[in-house]
């Protein structure tokens, strides 16, 4: 298997595992974090509204504040004046639905209709399901310092939709990343495989005692260039050693031939003397 294929599959595995990890984290953590954050936001808003009443802020200003916060945080807010039974809300068209859900909450105050997220002296925050529309809510019910009743709700279904969208986005990002990984793997592997192939050819030529081919280092001066320079040095040393051996071998052959010639002359001389 080539380096390019190995690198591509390695990047794909890393990307897929990362996307799966993020999806699992989304499913396990995101909804819990959302509910925790909404609970804290509801508590903070309760304190702000309570402070405005304590500071005798004008009712019109409180209504504008409620509408702004409801729009900003996706809330339905309802305040009932216990003395006049006047209702202040961010949306007059939802009063009936809010009163209905409020009644459900009050009727099931001690029932097993949801998880208690926060419970203090004048404030309680729970999850509740409105079976009439099959929707889950985070609900806050509290009494202000002036004895007015505060009621807030926010749908949990929004986070489920956000979770679905987030997972789809992660899958899309993963698909695009896999394609990008193929391009990156091709570019990166080519950057590494080309010098390796070149060094492999040089090594083959050296094994055939051909020392003419040399590795040309790039400007990056990385480990691959250092390996190429080492092979060049090894090739030079092998070439010098072999040339030295050839030279010594030639000298040895000449010495042997000279000795053989002398031996022949000696033999001829002895033969001639014996003949005389």
The model's pLDDT over 195-224, given as tens digits with 9 standing for 90+, comes to 777 777 877 877 777 777 777 777 767 777
> Do residues 236 and 252 touch, judged by C-beta distance below 8 A?
no
Provide CB contacts within 8 A for 106, sequence distance 6+: 141
Spatial contact of 152 and 42, defined as CB atoms under 8 Å apart: yes
Please report, for residues 47, 51, 122, 167, the alpha-carbon distance to residue 145 in angstroms, rounded to integers and kept in the order given: 10, 9, 9, 44
Could you give the angle at the alpha carbon of 195 between the alpha carbons of 189 and 197, nearest 5°?
Answer: 90
Name which residue leads in pLDDT, 222 or 138: 138
The label of the residue with tokens 């050693």 reads 241
* pLDDT at residue number 158: 63
Give the mean pLDDT of the chain.
Answer: 77
Which position has the token pair 């019910």?
141
Q: What single DSSP character describes residue 110? A: T
- CA–chain centroid gap for 203, Å, is 41
């Amino acid at each position: 298997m080539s380096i390019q294929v190995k690198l591509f599959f390695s990047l794909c595995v890393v990307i897929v595992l990362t996307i799966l990890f993020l999806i699992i984290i989304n499913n396990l953590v995101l909804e819990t974090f959302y509910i925790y954050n909404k609970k804290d936001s509801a508590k903070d808003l309760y304190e702000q509204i309570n402070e405005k009443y304590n500071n005798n802020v004008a009712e019109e200003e409180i209504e504008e504040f409620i509408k702004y916060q409801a729009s900003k945080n996706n809330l339905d807010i309802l305040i009932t004046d216990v003395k006049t039974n006047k209702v202040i809300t961010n949306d007059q068209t939802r009063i009936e639905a809010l009163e209905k859900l409020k009644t459900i909450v009050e009727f099931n105050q001690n029932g097993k209709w949801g998880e208690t997220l926060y419970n203090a002296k004048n404030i309680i925050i729970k999850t509740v399901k409105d079976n009439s529309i099959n929707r889950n809510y985070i609900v806050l019910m509290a009494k202000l310092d002036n004895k007015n009743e505060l009621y807030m709700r926010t749908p949990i279904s929004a986070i489920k939709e956000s979770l679905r969208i987030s997972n789809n986005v992660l899958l899309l990002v993963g698909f695009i990343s896999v394609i990008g990984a193929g391009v990156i793997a091709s570019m990166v592997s080519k950057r590494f495989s080309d010098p390796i192939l070149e060094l492999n050819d040089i090594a083959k030529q050296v094994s055939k005692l051909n020392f003419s081919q040399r590795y040309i280092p790039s400007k990056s001066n990385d480990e691959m260039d250092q390996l190429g320079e080492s092979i060049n040095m090894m090739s030079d040393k092998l070439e010098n050693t072999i040339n030295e051996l050839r030279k010594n071998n030639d000298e040895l052959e000449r010495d042997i031939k000279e000795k053989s010639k002398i031996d022949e002359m000696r033999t001829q001389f002895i033969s001639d003397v014996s003949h005389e």
